[in-house]
């Protein structure tokens, strides 16, 4: 795909790129459908419950049934809602979530867009989803939805700052924002992976990423005990599904980004295992990160909003800044 982008645009090249985009979309939507299923099964297993087991063999069609239900449900729009913005908000939330997947390198050649500012592209686009969430809450003309949207904006902005700063150390060590180059710089075994020299940045990144995803224990924007359902309380049918899709697509994207930045991407953990295809290593690391996200949801209680904001500004932001200085000192001494 990167080679196609460097060639003159023809109808044949455009058709290939469109087909590739459709394939990626189907892969991501397939992941979303069964990530929901496996999350319910994993949480059920951890909490000594059964989980989905009725629809299809082993309950494998439960998520498909849920998606069909959402698509077939009546689409309601509140009478006093800002109709145009109410309709537009789920789209603004979902499209950036899908677009950021384009810069994640699955292997050395399996990458949709190999650009030199891949990290910046991811950060810039992922921030747009915040606008969609705020719009959805405000356009609903519902006080609970508005509170959920405002709370989500405060949370995502507060944690996006340490998230971005935590990546700076990796960019400094690699000398590039290109995710392909970052993965290539981690070749040679797990002791070369960035999570070891960047352990502070890695810890900050993981916590901030979980908060960015609005997942437990940081799922305050959807705190049903306080806000009914948060910013999407007035949404139904496929518009509600768009918000849920965006959340799980970001799970896909953040797991892929974590794998590329800190866990060596497609690189084998030991040099003598290089004969195993890179996509296998990527998927193993990717699956482990997704499992940890499910694990946290099954075990940790929701934090209070003051604890949430205090952690972001008083702990993660200073640690992310310290990580930059430590990295700079390390590079100066090593050189």
pLDDT digits (tens, 9 = 90+) for 84-128: 999 999 999 988 988 888 889 998 888 777 888 889 999 999 889
- Predicted local distance difference test score (pLDDT) of residue 224: 64
Query: Model's pTM, two decimal places?
Result: 0.90
Neighbouring C-beta atoms of residue 104, cutoff 10 Å: 25
pLDDT digits (tens, 9 = 90+) for 219-268: 877 766 666 777 888 898 888 888 888 888 999 999 999 999 999 999 99
Q: How many CA within 13 A on the CB side of residue 101?
A: 23
- Predicted local distance difference test score (pLDDT) of residue 291: 95
Share of the chain above pLDDT 70, in %: 96
Is it the case that residue 3 has pLDDT exceeding 60?
A: no
Mean per-residue pLDDT, 202-215: 92
d(CA 197, CA 220) in angstroms, rounded, equals 32
Confidence at 172, pLDDT banded by 50, 70, 90: very high
- Predicted local distance difference test score (pLDDT) of residue 188: 85
- Predicted local distance difference test score (pLDDT) of residue 204: 96
Mean per-residue pLDDT, 182-197: 91
| Mean confidence (pLDDT) of the chain | 88
Is it the case that residue 59 has pLDDT exceeding 80?
A: yes
Mean per-residue pLDDT, 288-310: 90
Nearest by Cα to 238 from 21, 66, 97: 66
Mean per-residue pLDDT, 141-159: 87
Q: Which residues contact 54 (CB under 8 A, 6 or more apart)?
A: 62
- Predicted local distance difference test score (pLDDT) of residue 223: 67
Neighbouring C-beta atoms of residue 264, cutoff 10 Å: 27
Is it the case that residue 272 has pLDDT exceeding 60?
A: yes
């Amino acid at each position: 795909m990167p080679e196609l982008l460097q060639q003159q645009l023809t109808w044949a090249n455009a058709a290939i790129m469109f087909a590739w985009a459709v394939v990626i979309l189907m892969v991501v939507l397939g992941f979303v459908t069964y990530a929901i299923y496996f999350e319910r099964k994993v949480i059920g297993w951890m909490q000594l419950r059964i989980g989905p087991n009725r629809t299809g063999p082993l309950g494998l069609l439960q998520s498909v049934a849920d998606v069909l239900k959402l698509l077939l449900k009546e689409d309601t729009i509140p009478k006093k809602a800002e109709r145009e913005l109410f309709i537009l908000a789920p789209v603004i939330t979902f499209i950036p979530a899908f677009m950021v997947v384009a810069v994640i390198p699955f292997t050395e050649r399996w990458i949709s867009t190999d650009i030199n500012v891949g990290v910046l592209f991811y950060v810039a686009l992922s921030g747009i989803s915040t606008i969609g969430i705020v719009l959805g809450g405000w356009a609903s003309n519902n006080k609970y939805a508005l509170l959920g949207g405002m709370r989500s904006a405060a949370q995502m902005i507060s944690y996006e700052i340490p998230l971005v700063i935590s990546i700076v150390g990796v960019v400094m060590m690699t000398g590039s924002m290109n995710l392909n180059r970052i993965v290539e710089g981690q070749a040679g075994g797990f002791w070369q992976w960035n999570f070891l020299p960047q352990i502070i940045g890695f810890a900050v990144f993981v916590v901030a990423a979980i908060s960015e995803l609005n997942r437990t224990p940081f799922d305050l924007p959807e705190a049903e005990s306080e806000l009914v359902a948060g910013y999407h309380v007035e949404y139904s049918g496929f518009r509600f599904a768009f918000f849920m899709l965006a959340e799980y697509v970001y799970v896909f994207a953040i797991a892929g980004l974590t794998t590329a930045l800190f866990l060596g991407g497609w690189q084998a953990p030991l040099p003598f295992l290089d004969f195993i295809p890179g996509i296998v290593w990527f998927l193993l690391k990717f699956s482990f990160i997704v499992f940890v996200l499910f694990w946290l949801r099954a075990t940790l209680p929701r934090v209070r909003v003051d604890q949430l904001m205090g952690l972001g500004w008083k702990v993660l932001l200073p640690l992310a800044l310290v990580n930059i200085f430590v990295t700079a000192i390390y590079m100066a001494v090593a050189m």
